[in-house]
Amino acid sequence: MSAQVENDARLVGVLGWPVGHSLSPAMHNAALRALKLNWRYLLLPVHPDDIPDAVHGLRALGFAGANVTIPHKVAVCALMDELTPEALAVGAVNTIIIRDGRFTGHNTDAYGFLTALTNAGYAPACRPALVLGAGGAARSVVYALARAGARVAIHNRTPERAHALAAALAPHLPGVSLQIVSAAGLPAALLAADLVINTTSVGMTGGPPGSPLPAGARLRAGATAYDLIYAPRQTPFLRQARAAGLHAVGGLGMLVHQGARALELWTGRDAPVAVMQRAAQRALAARARADGARRT
Ligand code: NAP
């Protein structure tokens, strides 16, 4: 009977390199079980050189779609038959839908970020937001905030990348002006911001240590700090923000909601978000224990 189930199962998965650390299989398989769907979500480690073959192979193997993670999110865009406006604006695909042999590239990161932020009680419209970082994740965050009507400023260690990000998004955000904040302007921008978002990898497990905030940075008490990092749960940025009286929110909610949206796109069913959240938390705790055991 179980072999029968395996043979009939619809398949989805996550393309990445490396991808063994991903929380997505735990999160999605828990959701698919809760929905009583005979689907399986697989880890799909693919070297960058092989990504075109792998994407076309998904169609040959009858996959319903896939998630895409680092380092393939940009390369996959060129392999799609069509891109949604979000994927086009962000310049990256994190969810592929395969229907009638055609590939549609979606980006659910902006939705995931905005949903998590709103669930944390923050409404960004007409309020000043400061985005720290200008990498791939920053693009989704800036796009989501600007679309939600926030007044967005961007600061990045390498200013050229912040300017490039603003220029790339400009055609997709008519009437929106994105402010670039220099290192000299950062203290004033931090004090003015109602929302400060860390999209850098600083403070991430295995990433550059510390906080992206300058030493002694002053923040606006009562503001909100959002860290895209979810491992560790408590980052130096969040600790610093909490100590300054800010409402501090970690990045797990964004991960869960981008996944929930992908699941809804594949299956057409409402995602069991609480199930996904619990599964992601459990997988994250197991990963932290395994990392701890390796270090001792
Ligand atoms: P990325 O494209 O490599 O960008 C990294 C960013 O971090 C750049 O702005 C980079 O600045 C900055 N940075 C790196 N080292 C720094 C340092 N020592 N000091 C100051 N800035 C530094 O990475 P990404 O894909 O955007 O991911 C960024 C973070 O977001 C990661 O921690 C990732 O796990 C997290 N993320 C979370 C979610 C979620 O669902 N919660 C989703 C996506 C990403 P330069 O341009 O100057 O190098």
Residues with CB under 6 Å of ligand 1 are: 70, 109, 112, 133-138, 156-158, 161, 199-202, 204, 207-208, 212, 228-230, 251, 254-255, 258
Q: Give pLDDT tens digits for 72-98.
A: 999 999 999 999 999 999 999 999 999
Q: Are 246 and 223 in contact (CB under 8 A)?
A: yes
pTM for the structure as a whole: 0.95
Tokens 């698919």 locate to 32
Beta strand segments in 69-108, E = 82-83, 95-99, 102-106
Q: Give pLDDT tens digits for 200-255.
A: 999 999 999 999 999 889 999 999 999 999 999 999 999 999 999 999 999 999 99
6 CA distance to ligand 1 middle (Å): 38
Residue nearest to atom 13 of ligand 1 (CA): 200
Q: Which atom of ligand 1 is nearest to the CA of 212?
A: 20
Choosing from 28, 31, 55, 73, the catalytic residue is 73
73 belongs to the catalytic site: yes
Higher confidence at residue 211 or residue 289?
A: 211
What is the C-alpha separation between 145 and 293, in angstroms, rounded?
39
